[in-house]
Amino acid sequence: MQYKISDKMAVMKPSAIREIFKSLGTPGAISFAAGNPAPESFPIEAIKEISANILENDAVTALQYSVTEGYPKLRALIKKRISEKFSVGTADDETIITSGGQQGIELACKALCNIGDAVICENPSFIGSLNSFRSNGARPVGVPLEDDGINIEKLEEALIAEGEKAKIIYVIPTFQNPAGITTSLEKRKKIYALAQKYDVVIIEDNPYGDLRFDGEDVPTIKSMDTDGRVIYCGSFSKILSAGMRIGFACANNELIQKMVVAKQVEDVHTNIFFQMVCAEYMEKYDLDAHIEKIRDLYRAKCHLMLDCLDKYMPEQLKFTRPEGGLFILCTLPGGIKLSDFIARASEQKVFVVPGTAFNCDESAPSDSFRLNYSMPSNEEIEKGIRILGDIIKDMLK
């Protein structure tokens, strides 16, 4: 049979990152490609205790169908936490539990975008979100990302150019993926003001917000949200476990209700057992102390990688210096072709993600690549960056 694939899916390719992830089994491979949290960041002993406890005392709840909105106790705990930590949530807002942070972004797009609508994004941006927009028939429209956040003039130009088609501004203001950049307070205010002026919704994607290891917190855009314009998405993937797939979104209740209906038809509800695990962890353990340990771990790993970049890379290679999160973005010196560099790195079994994967325009070129420091060991960081430095120096000859 010749399949007639839908227009929106016919153009879509598997995520380059997920594909790289599959080929990491090679012995001796050093991967800076994944976005995985460090395995040592999982509170395994606590999850073991909590799991045993749930299956002993409340197994039927954990194994039976549940409500689409999410486990009420977890929703209440999240509401309280994001209000205290990030000033997120008003009396008109509600919270939905999602199957990972990704689902919140996808549901928001599904609720708001028709075929051909524009989602205005930082360029580069997170490939998973870009693909979730594409899968809904929406177009990611890229606006250059600068050292302090999106280019505000170009953002306004894009909003004007797209007119009625512009439905959403999608940003990752804190420790951006792939760039590691944090949007300044001034730019956050300007992004919100532009969303008001052109009457669009903002999706504020904040999966790394808890992972600041240097500098000072910057207020969330959602904390400035006076008219219910911001959909705030978060996740437990980077602070408890990525595999359990627990995320959440907080937005005006009218939008959340549409996202609930959209979620009902995707997966009915998020696995209830791990919703209970999250709730019990938040209630009976010290999540903040646990996060503090992850920050210490990532601070050390990030600083080590930055030191290695300083030490092994030629001056001409530029890279970001994140204050949190999981990623550093490097920009190759002029004259080096990204695909040649990626090929040589892969030959030496060092894997990075080419910047092309994060482009809103999939056919656009890139001279950058993303490095992850949370997953590799210290030895791998030292060795891998040395190898990458040698390759670039050699290519500059």
With contacts defined by CB under 8 A, name the span among 53-61, 176-184, 344-352, 355-363 that binds its own copies.
53-61
- 3-state SS, one letter per residue, for the chain: CCCCCCHHHHCCCCCHHHHHHHCCCCCCCEECCCCCCCHHHCCHHHHHHHHHHHHHHCHHHHHCCCCCCCCHHHHHHHHHHHHHHHCCCCCCEEEEEECCHHHHHHHHHHHHCCCCCEEEEEECCCHHHHHHHHHCCCEEEEEEEECCEECHHHHHHHHHHHHHHEEEEEECCCCCCCCCCCCCHHHHHHHHHHHHHCCCEEEEECCCCCCECCCCCCCCCHHHCCCCCEEEEEECCCCCCCCCCCEEEEEEHHHHHHHHHHHHHHHCCCCHHHHHHHHHHHHHCCHHHHHHHHHHHHHHHHHHHHHHHHHHCCCCCEECCCCECCEEEEECCCCCCHHHHHHHHHHCCEECEEHHHHCCCCCCCCCEEEEECCCCCHHHHHHHHHHHHHHHHHHHC
Strand order in the sheet with 93-98: 93-98, 247-252, 230-235, 201-205, 166-171, 118-123, 139-146, 149-150
Residues in region 180-199 near its own copies by CB under 8 A: 199
With contacts defined by CB under 8 A, name the span among 50-58, 326-334, 336-344, 378-386 that binds its own copies.
50-58
Least Å from the CB of residue 295 to its own copies: 19
Residues in region 272-311 near its own copies by CB under 8 A: 272-274
Least Å from the CB of residue 190 to its own copies: 18
Nearer to its own copies, 36 or 182 (CB): 36
Nearer to its own copies, 301 or 344 (CB): 301
- The residue assigned the tokens 């891998």 is 384
Residues in region 19-48 near its own copies by CB under 8 A: 21-22, 34-37, 39, 42, 44, 47-48
Residues in region 218-277 near its own copies by CB under 8 A: 227-229, 237, 241-245, 252, 254-255, 257-258, 260-262, 264-274
Q: Does 73 bind its own copies (CB under 8 A)?
A: no
Nearer to its own copies, 162 or 323 (CB): 162
Least Å from the CB of residue 150 to its own copies: 21
Residues in region 348-377 near its own copies by CB under 8 A: none
Nearer to its own copies, 9 or 193 (CB): 9
Q: Does 207 bind its own copies (CB under 8 A)?
A: no
How are beta strands 318-319 and 353-354 bridged, if at all?
Answer: unpaired
Least Å from the CB of residue 165 to its own copies: 11
Nearer to its own copies, 143 or 240 (CB): 240
User: Quick check: 277 and 244 in contact, CB under 8 A?
Assistant: yes
Nearer to its own copies, 4 or 397 (CB): 4
Residues in region 107-136 near its own copies by CB under 8 A: 110-115, 117, 128, 131-132, 134-136
Nearer to its own copies, 50 or 328 (CB): 50
User: Binding string to its own copies for residues 309 to 348, with x set by CB under 8 A, is what?
Assistant: ----------------------------------------
Q: Does 56 bind its own copies (CB under 8 A)?
A: yes
User: Binding string to its own copies for residues 76 to 105, with x set by CB under 8 A, is what?
Assistant: -----------------------xx-xx--
Residues in region 132-171 near its own copies by CB under 8 A: 132, 134-137, 167
N- to C-terminal Cα separation, the chain? 53
Least Å from the CB of residue 245 to its own copies: 5
Least Å from the CB of residue 346 to its own copies: 19
